[in-house]
Structures are given as C-alpha cells and as structure tokens.
Amino acid sequence: MGPLPQEIQHRLHHLGIEERHLIGYQLPFQPEQSVIVAGQDIYERPLRMSADTYSSWLELEAAAAESNITIQVVSAFRSFNYQCQIIQRKREAGESVDDILRVSAIPGFSEHHSGRALDLTTPGHPPLEEIFEESRAFAWLTQHAQAFGFAMTYPRGNRYQVAYEPWHWCWHPAT
C-alpha cells in the first residue's frame, strides 16, 4: 500500500493513532464506497450498503426464511467519520488507543467502509457476541452464505490477526 492520504493521516494523528499502530497492520485500506439506503437495522436506524450487496442480501435473507431462519442486520456501511467517532468516544471514556485497536479497526481500514460488510444476528441472541456461532442462523450461513457471495472475514485464527467475529460477513463480487 502507498502512503495514506494526508487528510486521513491528520485525522488518525488527532485520534492518537500513530505510525507505530500502522506498521505491520494487517487490515487492507478500505476507501469509502457509494451506498444506498437498504431498509433499517434491528434498532430501526437507516441501513446503508452497496447496491450489489443489498440485492444479494435480499436473496440470502429470503432463502434463509424458507428454512424458517431469521437473519437480521445489526450494522452495514460505516463511514470513515463514524469510525473516528467510535474511537473518539472510547478515548473519552478512558480507554487507551492500544486497547481500542484490539477490537475496533483503524478508521480507513474497516471493511464496513466498503458497504459490503454486514454484521448479522438472529432473534434470541445478543448482537455481536461470539455465542452467535451456536445459533441455527450461523449454521445456515456456514452452509449457504457462500452461494450468495458472502464469506466470514474473521474466522478463528484469521490472517488479519483480528479477534474471531462469527457475525461479520462480507459480500464479494464473483470473479
């Protein structure tokens, strides 16, 4: 990867994210992509994702429903600015940058900037918890999501050195 755009470097510096945090960082840079409104998330906030992701998501959701499995979206597109706010809020709450970066991506590097990453849940499970892996929804995704172009980005022992996230699935265009 080439040098980060100056504006982004400034914003990261302002958040306390330094060169040493970026050296050896395994996540690829994710420029913000254009997105469309794709209904609402489980908190009834507007949901945004890429148009291609949305059409594949609708197909996946419908196929799961045919097996009596409800899959819901907790979070999809997140902007660079929003990711900065997440980090800023945690810093104001007293967390160190190093601790924050163990669970939150450096702004500019979240797969959610692409509009193709979806955090999924199912009724009866707390969102964004590892226990999602014990749900029927997760079992269904493991078997069928690939047919709709979705893959889990952070399985256990992933090459990005990111904590296991059974809820995080990303749509990839067919090659």
List contacts with Zn ion (CB under 5 A): 119, 168
φ and ψ at residue 143, rounded to 5 degrees: -85, -35
SS3 at position 4: coil
Residue in this structure with the two tokens 């059409």, named with its chain if needed = 55
Nearer to Zn ion, 119 or 133 (CB): 119
Residue 122 CB, shortest distance to Zn ion, in Å, is 15
Q: Rounded to the nearest whole angstrom, what is the least distance from the CB of residue 51 to Zn ion in the complex?
A: 19
Closest CB to Zn ion among residues 15, 30? 30
Give the strands of the sheet with 168-171, arranged side by side.
72-75, 117-121, 168-171, 150-152
In the complex with Zn ion, which residue's Cβ is closer, 9 or 155?
155
Please state the closest distance from residue 146 (CB atom) to Zn ion, in A. 18
Please state the closest distance from residue 9 (CB atom) to Zn ion, in A.
Answer: 24
**Which of 48, 168 has the CB closer to Zn ion?**
168
Which residues is 46 bridged to in the sheet?
40
Are the C-beta atoms of residues 39 and 54 closer than 8 Å to each other? no
